[in-house]
Amino acid sequence: MVEVTAERGKQLSSRVSEEGAGWSCTQIGTFAQLRPGRKGFTWFNARTLWRSRNEILSGLFGDPSGQVRRRWVAEQEARGADPGFRIRPDVGDSFDFLLLGDTGEGDASQYAVVPGLLKVGDGTSFAVIASDVLYPAGSGNEYGDKFFRPYQDYDAPIYAVPGNHDWYDGLGGFMRVFCDAPPLRPKPERGLRGLLWRKPEPIDERRLAEARKLRSRPSQQATEQAAQPGPYWVIESDSLLVVGVDTGIKGTIDRQQADWLRRVSRDPRPKILVTGKPIYTRNEYKPSPLEGGGTIDDIIRDPAHRYVAAIGGDVHNYQRYPVKVGDRVIQYIVSGGGGAFMHATHTIQRVDVAGVHEDDFRCYPLRGDSLSFYSQLYAKRLRMKWIYLTPDEASCIMSEQIGNDPVRPLGQVRITRRMRWAARLLGSWPMPFRLPVATVFHRYLSELSDWDTPPFFKQFLHLSVTPETLKVRCFAATGCRTQELDPPLEDEVSISLS
């Protein structure tokens, strides 16, 4: 097991200095050398949005993920997959692994995570991607530049749970890459949903075979007993179970998967849940419903099941909520900063959900950095220089709005009317009239806020397991060379497993 704290994380983090946040980036990192020589991903494209139409259609006409998932599971069982969907790597009772979420745009913001991830991940036993391996629609023909190439030098197996974007291809690309599954037999669907629904894209097997060569070393392949069996699974070790669930497009768990989850959860070993949809995010509670009644969180909270953490992707930043449940604390974590555009944190109001105190809540980027980031972007994009807020100004605004002490030391800043109106337009300060700016900004404008220059405010997790303790560390990826060499440690929590 690699001891991370002693060797890495010495670089000052965003909680200490602007330099640690990447604002004074004097040398861009080497990540650009890893990228293929073609234009990066963009949401400013009608074709990209059209390929993602199944999100809207599932809301209008119902989410078919559960039905399709049952077909995938039946096919995997017929091919001899482990009946308990177990993954059994040879890791012993102490090991390390990585977890990152929402990775696959294939652009600078994804590749900027890679150098630091390889440094911190040296010696880890495996990695897990939590949600949205590929954007915009999970096509098996795009895994080359969005999965195999960026992680070609990560020297261990990678497992994944699918996100909503992976489902826009009917899970065809995901199942082919992670489970080596052949395509499902076509099953025509009637009605308007069947007419408009995006159908799975035929996979170019030659192209996929060439992409696989990028991760073809024996150390990168799972053994037969450690192969990924399906879209949901459980990684077993002596000290901890890592339970991965597939939340489909809209977050509902079908009855078959729910029954499996209950069976797995009765195992007496401690557990963490990895899910495509976080349960706590943006100071809101969003437990995924189970077909037939109840929620995933009902299973997590049952003390007999011994869950110590639940980690979800889908939201593209880092958040941690230590929720007291009875006489124990469960860590609910959002880890979706693995490569996609950044979801704002400056629109998260003072935290009080589930009794979590604001002082115990953690997020990355810091709210002030998020506000400054977006103010800079829109000052340029809209040619409105007056809305730009320096990191110091933005941090002061957020401190006054949230009612807490600034996380890092600030200079002398006097909050002005201009600053308040800039914060209002960017969703972090209440409007004097009814207009849900923060909601609109978070839900509908984030995709239009992607950029390809540092600082990126990306992140990934390093988890260390022993029989007594689980340590979860959040490392930053800014795109700056200094932080590539020594990724800043933004958050750390130790969880008892005894």
pLDDT of residue 43: 75
Q: Please write the tens of the pLDDT for every residue from 378-423.
A: 898 888 999 999 999 999 999 999 998 888 888 788 999 999 999 9
Q: Please write the tens of the pLDDT for every residue from 319-341.
A: 999 999 999 999 999 999 999 99
User: 449 or 235: which carries more pLDDT confidence?
Assistant: 235
Q: Please write the tens of the pLDDT for every residue from 9-68.
A: 567 899 999 999 999 888 999 988 888 766 667 777 778 878 888 888 888 888 888 899
Segment of 36-50, 349-363, 370-384, 445-459 carrying the highest mean pLDDT: 349-363
pLDDT of residue 6: 41
Three-state DSSP string of the chain: CCCHHHHCCCCCCCCCCHHHHCCCCCCECHHHHHCCCCCCCCCCCHHHHHHCCHHHHHHHHCCCHHHHHHHHHHHHHHCCCCCCCEECCCCCCCEEEEEECCCCCCCHHHHCCHHHHHHHCCCCCEEEEECCCCCCCCCHHHHHHHHHCCCCCCCCCEEEECCHHHHCCCCHHHHHHHHCCCCCCCCCCCHHHHHHCCCCCCCCHHHHHHHHHHHCCHHHCCCHHHCCCCCCEEEECCCCEEEEECCCCCCCECHHHHHHHHHHHCCCCCEEEEECCCCEECCEECCCEECCCCEHHHHHHCHHHCEEEEEECCCCCEEEEEEEECCEEEEEEEECCCCCCCCCCCCCCCCCHHHCCHHHCEEECCHHHHHHHHHHHHHHHCCCHHHCCCHHHHHHHHHHHHCCCCCCCCCCCCCCHHHHHHHHHCCCCCCCCCCCHHHHHHHHHHHHHCCCCCCCCEEEEEEEECCCEEEEEEEEECCEHHHHHCCCEEEEEEEECC
- Among 137-141, 159-163, 213-217, 356-360, which is the least confidently predicted range? 137-141
State what percent of residues in the chain have pLDDT above 90: 74
